[in-house]
Every structure is written in C-alpha cells, then in structure tokens.
Structure 1
Amino acid sequence: MDISKRLRTVASLVRCETMADIGTDHGYVPLYLYEQGRIKKALACDLNPGPLEKARENIQKMGAGEVIETRLGSGLTPVAPGEVECAVIAGMGGMLICHILEDGEEAAKSLKEWVLSPQHDMEAVRRLVHRMGYAIDREELVLEDGKYYDIFRCVPGEEQYGTLAEYRYGAGLLRRKDAVLWEKLCQEEKQYGTIAAGLARTDTEKAAERLTEVEGILACIREAKAWYE
C-alpha cells in the first residue's frame, strides 16, 4: 500500500498482533499492517458512517475481511476490555485523544500498548499517559508536507518527566538528540522570537500578558536545545 510517511511511522510502532484503529477513516493503518502480515486481528473503528463504509470497501478489495472488522462508535466504546492488545489513536487533536483515553479507561488500561499521534497539545497527552500509569516507550517525529507529527508508543509502567521541555517536546527525542526535533526547535525559536519582538513594541496590557507567555515558550525551547550541547 502507498500510504503517507506519517501513517507508515504510526504502523511501525505497533508491536502487537491484535489492534484497534480508533478514528480509522479509510482503514489505511490496519490494511497496511495486514498487507505486511503483522496482525492477526484488527478492529477498524470510526464515529462516522461515511469513512467507515470506505474502510469496509477497502477491506473487501484487499480480501482482508477475515482479519479486519469495522465497527461504528465513538472512541474506545466499540472495543471490549481485553479484546485486543493495541490501540492506535492518530490524526486528531490532543485533547480529543485525552478524552477518548479517559472515557474509555477500562478498555484503555486492558491494552498492552497505545500508539498515539496527537496533532497538537502533545504536552497534555504525555502528562495524561503518565497519570494513567503508562510510560512512553518510543517516540518519533515526522516532517511531512511542511508539518511536524509526534508519534509515540506507550506501554504499562510508572514514569514521570522532570522538566516542561520533556513533556512539551518528548524526552525520548531529546535524549537521542533527534535531528528533526532540532529543526522544529530552531523554527519555533525564530517564530516566537519574531512574535516577542512585535509584542515588545506594543504598549498594552494584553500585549504584555502575551509577551510573558511567549517568553515562557522561548525559555522552554532554549531548555530543549540545551540537550543538544
């Protein structure tokens, strides 16, 4: 299958042979794993009937119906606790991912691994992973079509980070001095530096408040870049 670099990376972090793809859209991740012979059972789940029907058509075209089953429903509700070992939750906002994990806590905690790829609010997702008794086993950062995508595999375990930079940018990426993250940090430093300079020239209370916020972000970026020294 010809799927995006982001989805290939998501699939690469799946280690289990049974999985649920939450918000499956067209079913690309389970179909890719099926084509590679890496899964024995998959649930392609989506809240919307339209994309799920498209996933069903793709499954039929590939002859994967005995392995991949489509299910309509919100978040983890279509998945019974213990039914599969892995959940992939990708391509949606970080706060929505947090909501799905919290609302489906019983099913979530029955899983051996989560593969998560929030589109934003990465810090909130990483903090929730730790609060729910999971550790981040592996992180990847992918640049595709000018956008950065955080993807991480979570497994049961006690873990806490000590700094804001680790939660915001990923301790695993910082520890291995990830080259893509370095590019992202440099880009963000330039972006927020320009914003800060503009705010400093604006004499309003609102601008002063925003400047304080932006200076905090810049301090976090510098903290993250110090890992590369």
Structure 2
Amino acid sequence: MRVVIAGGHGKIALILEKLLSERGDSIAGLIRNPAQAADLAEAGAEAIVLDLETASVQELAGHLTGADAVVFAAGAGPGSGADRKASVDRDAAVLLADAAEAAGVGRYLLLSAMGDHLRAAPTTFDEGFGAYLRAKAGAEDAVRARSAFRATIVRPGLLGNEPGTGRVDLGERTGTGPIPRADVAAVLLALLDEPRLDGRTVEVIGGDTPIVDAVTALAAR
C-alpha cells in the first residue's frame, strides 16, 4: 500500500508512518520545513517538502500519483490565529481532496475533531478554538461531498501523549473522553485496512476493546 500523509511531521503522523513502514508499506509525508525530513526518515517515511498553503492542485497531485490512500493530519496548531486555522485545517484539507481526485487516489482519511460541537455557535468557545472547530467542519463538508474517492472522517477525543493502550471505544457516537495519540494512529492504520468503513464518520476515545476488533465490529454494522 502507498500512503501519503499531509502534516507528515505531526505527532500522530510520525507514529502512523512508523507503523506503516514497519509492516512494509510505502509511506510519504508532506512537510513544509525541510529540517523535519530526518525525523520522517527515522520513522521510515519519504519526506516531500511542499507548503500546502501555497501549493497548487496540480503540484500536489503530482506527488500523489500511485498512492492508494491519503491521510490529512495537518493542523495550524494551538498558537495560530483564525486565518491560519482556515488556511490549514480547512483549505489544505480541501486542497488535498482536489489533488487526490486529480491523481485518482481512491481513499481519503480525514483526522478531524470530535462531535456535534463542530457546528456550535462561535460564542460557545473562545475565539481560537471556535475558529478551529469551524475550520474542521468546513473540511468535513468538503471531503464528504466528494464522489471521486471514498472518505472516512475520524474524530478523536482529547489527545494525550501517554503510551497507547491498544484499546478504544469506537463508534458513530462515543461521548467525550481522552485517547493517546498512539492509539489514534493505530486506529488510522486499522481503518486503512478496513474499506467497509469508507464513507463513514467515526468517533474514538480510550476504551476496553482491542483496536482491530473495534474497527471490525463497527464495519460489520
């Protein structure tokens, strides 16, 4: 399998790259800063230096040729303003969708944010977090509307850096809760292996069910 990850130097992306490379898949990560290439190489991934805020659809599509799937794991980060949240968390996700369509990539995994609060009134949250949620909602709408590829939207709970447990609660609705980034990466890996969840939106938090079992059970519903 050939997988290209947007936001290839993110914490979840680096873990996913290592998981994919350890089992022999071909993996590339899109990064803006060439200094990050060594970290991707350590994870077993090819680094593609490309700024998603300035790249054209054609330029990005050229790097996606031959890919079986793309994963959007990029983000402007907590210290960014509303404009960058829109240009990265929303617009870059749309750019990846446009490029995946142009390159004939069959699958798209979007790492989003949890729950119905994506569409909450701006006054519900502080300005920065509200802008982030609105950007994620816009990305979801754009990706979900595509018919040229099969998209799975993944909404994790509160992310942490503790070691993964290998066990989750996965469903269309899970309620809120924490989850290690390592377990989110493992869920993304399992979803890449489970096409029956293409076209679905799933939420995931820490839980008691082994990840592969949780993905298989949801796919069978």
Q: TM-score range by the shorter chain?
A: 0.3 to 0.5
Structure with the larger RCO, 1 or 2 (CA within 8 Å, 6+ apart): 2
Q: Based on CA coordinates, which of the two structures has the bigger radius of gyration?
A: 1
When normalised by structure 1's length, the TM-score is: 0.46
